[in-house]
């Protein structure tokens, strides 16, 4: 078992309550199913924390149906107090350890900072920034344990990992295909961001965006690979909503 898997598994074993952090923009795609199964097999109490809800509309928020979940924006400090109260209710007034798990870049450390009220766990927008577990006491009865983000063996498809931010855009092996799929999935949002007309051909849209941004290669041809990386990066940073 790789080092990161051992660390996360130990945190799950040590914790009384587990927070499985998810990206609101891609709920199903950002649930780490292997970690979820491990938590359930141990009978641990778990809360699905749907983070970055500020990056989707209220209508999109209302469509999310997931038991034992709470929608928050750690960055904007939205509903983090509700989450804290939920943790306290599950703890029934006793001292509890709360493990924070999930894919890289879903905002685990930012969530901890928000719950604490000041910077206690180091954060970064670079995927996989947390290298080992960090313990952060947020009250006399609650100890949070941050973990490195784990990409399980069964879920290494580059597209999903790029879209949820667990793989940095700069490391993409096929940024064109990933950006094309994102353009199709977001149904006009990428086009609106760059101010181009929506087309049924996402590949053509990617080329037009590259030309408009003057991201070209020799012969004044659209550099769709570089443009694709930029689109994915803007999505990961929440610029494209």
Considering the domain architecture, whether residues 148 and 179 belong to the same structural domain is answered as no
Q: How far is CA 181 from CA 62, 178, 202, in A?
A: 24, 5, 8
Between 158 and 77, the higher pLDDT residue: 77
Based on the fold, state whether residues 174 and 150 are members of the same structural domain: no
Average of per-residue pLDDT across 188-193? 94
Q: Summarize the confidence of residues 34-43 as an average pLDDT.
A: 92
- Do 192 and 149 fall within a single domain? no
User: Which is higher by pLDDT, 69 or 200?
Assistant: 69
Mean pLDDT value of segment 167-179? 76
DSSP 167: S
Residue that is written with structure tokens 């700069």 in the block? 170
- The pLDDT of residue 154 is 46
Q: Domain containing 88: what range?
A: 3-154
Q: Where are the beta strands (DSSP E) in 85-215?
A: 96-102, 134-137, 142-146
Split into its structural domains, the chain has a count of 2
- Residue 241 in any domain: the answer is no
Cβ neighbours of 56 (radius 10 Å): 20
Do both 18 and 95 map to the same domain?
yes
Q: Which residue's structure tokens are 């689109």?
A: 231
Computed over every residue of the chain, the mean pLDDT equals 83
Distance from C-alpha of 69 to C-alpha of 49, rounded to nearest angstrom:
6
pLDDT digits (tens, 9 = 90+) for 118-156: 545 544 444 454 455 678 888 888 988 887 665 554 444
Please name the residue that has the structure tokens 């939205």. Answer: 78
* pLDDT value of residue 62: 95
Contact 102, 32 (CB under 8 A): yes
**Cα gap 83→109, rounded to integer Å:** 15
> Which of 120, 154, 188 is the endpoint of a domain?
154
Instruction: Give the integer Cα–Cα distance in Å for 59 and 162.
Output: 25
In a domain, 162, yes or no: no
pLDDT (0 to 100) of residue 200 = 78
Tens digits of residue pLDDT in 215-231: 998 888 889 889 998 99
Asked if residue 22 has pLDDT above 90, the reply is yes
Task: Assess whether 83 and 176 both reside in one domain.
Answer: no
- The single-letter DSSP state of residue 129 is -
Summarised one tens digit per residue, pLDDT across range 193-216 is 999 998 877 888 999 999 999 999
Question: Rounded to whole angstroms, how far apart are CA atoms 206 and 180?
Answer: 7
Instruction: Give pLDDT tens digits for 51-60.
Output: 999 999 999 9
Instruction: Let me know whether 126 and 174 are in one domain.
Output: no
One domain for residues 143 and 185: no
Using CA of residue 203, residue 207, residue 210, residue 216, what is the dihedral sign?
positive
Tokens of 43: 């009978």
> Quick one: pLDDT at residue 96?
94
Flag whether 98 is in a domain. yes
Q: Name the more confident of 164 and 45.
A: 45
Q: 79 vs 184, which has greater pLDDT?
A: 79
Residue 178 has pLDDT above 50, yes or no: yes
- CATH number, domain with residue 81: 3.40.50.300
- Residue 149 to residue 202: CA distance in whole angstroms: 31
140 in the same domain as 35: yes
Lowest mean pLDDT among 21-25, 32-36, 124-128: 124-128
Is 203 contained in some domain? yes
How far apart, in whole angstroms, are the C-alpha atoms of residue 112 and residue 135? Answer: 10
Report the sign of the C-alpha dihedral through residues 157, 152, 30, 28, in that order.
positive
Assess if residue 163 is contained within a domain: no
How many other CB atoms are found less than 10 A from the CB of residue 234? 16
Q: Please check whether residues 23 and 100 belong to one and the same domain.
A: yes
The first and second tokens of residue 42, run together, are 């141990």
Domain co-membership, 27 together with 123:
yes
Summarised one tens digit per residue, pLDDT across range 96-118 is 999 999 887 788 888 988 888 75
Indicate whether 115 and 65 sit together in one domain.
Answer: yes
Of 113, 129, 154, the domain-final residue: 154
Let me know whether 113 and 216 are in one domain. no
| Cβ–Cβ < 8 Å for 17, 70 | no
pLDDT of residue 158 exceeding 80 = no
The rounded percent of the chain whose pLDDT value lies above 90 is 44
* Last-in-domain residue among 114, 132, 154: 154
- Residue 195 within any structural domain of the chain: yes
Q: Does residue 19 form part of some domain? A: yes
Count of alpha carbons within 13 Å of 115, Cβ hemisphere only? 29
What's the whole-model pTM score? 0.66
Q: Is residue 159, in this structure, part of any structural domain at all?
A: no
Q: What is the pLDDT of residue 126?
A: 46
């Amino acid at each position: 078992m790789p080092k990161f898997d051992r660390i996360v598994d130990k945190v799950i074993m040590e914790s009384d309550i587990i927070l499985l952090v998810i990206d609101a923009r891609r709920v199903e795609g950002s649930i780490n199913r292997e970690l979820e199964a491990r938590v359930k097999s141990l009978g641990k109490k778990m809360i699905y924390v749907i983070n970055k809800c500020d990056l989707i509309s209220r209508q999109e928020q209302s469509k999310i149906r997931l038991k034992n979940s709470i929608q928050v924006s750690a960055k904007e400090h939205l509903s983090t107090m509700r989450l804290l109260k939920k943790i306290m209710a599950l703890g029934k007034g006793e001292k509890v350890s709360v493990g924070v798990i999930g894919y890289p870049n879903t905002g685990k450390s930012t969530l901890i900072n928000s719950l604490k009220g000041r910077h206690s766990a180091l954060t970064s927008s670079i995927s996989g920034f947390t290298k080992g577990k960090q313990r952060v006491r947020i009250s006399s009865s609650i100890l949070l344990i941050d973990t490195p983000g784990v990409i399980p063996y069964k879920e290494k498809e580059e597209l999903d990992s790029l879209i949820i931010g667990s793989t940095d855009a700069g490391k993409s092996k096929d940024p064109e295909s990933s950006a094309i799929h994102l353009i199709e999935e977001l149904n006009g949002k990428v086009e609106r961001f760059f101010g181009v007309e929506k087309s049924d051909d996402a590949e053509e849209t990617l080329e037009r965006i590259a030309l408009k941004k003057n991201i070209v290669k020799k012969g004044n041809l659209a550099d769709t690979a570089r443009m694709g990386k930029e689109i994915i990066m803007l999505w990961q940073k929440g610029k494209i909503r």
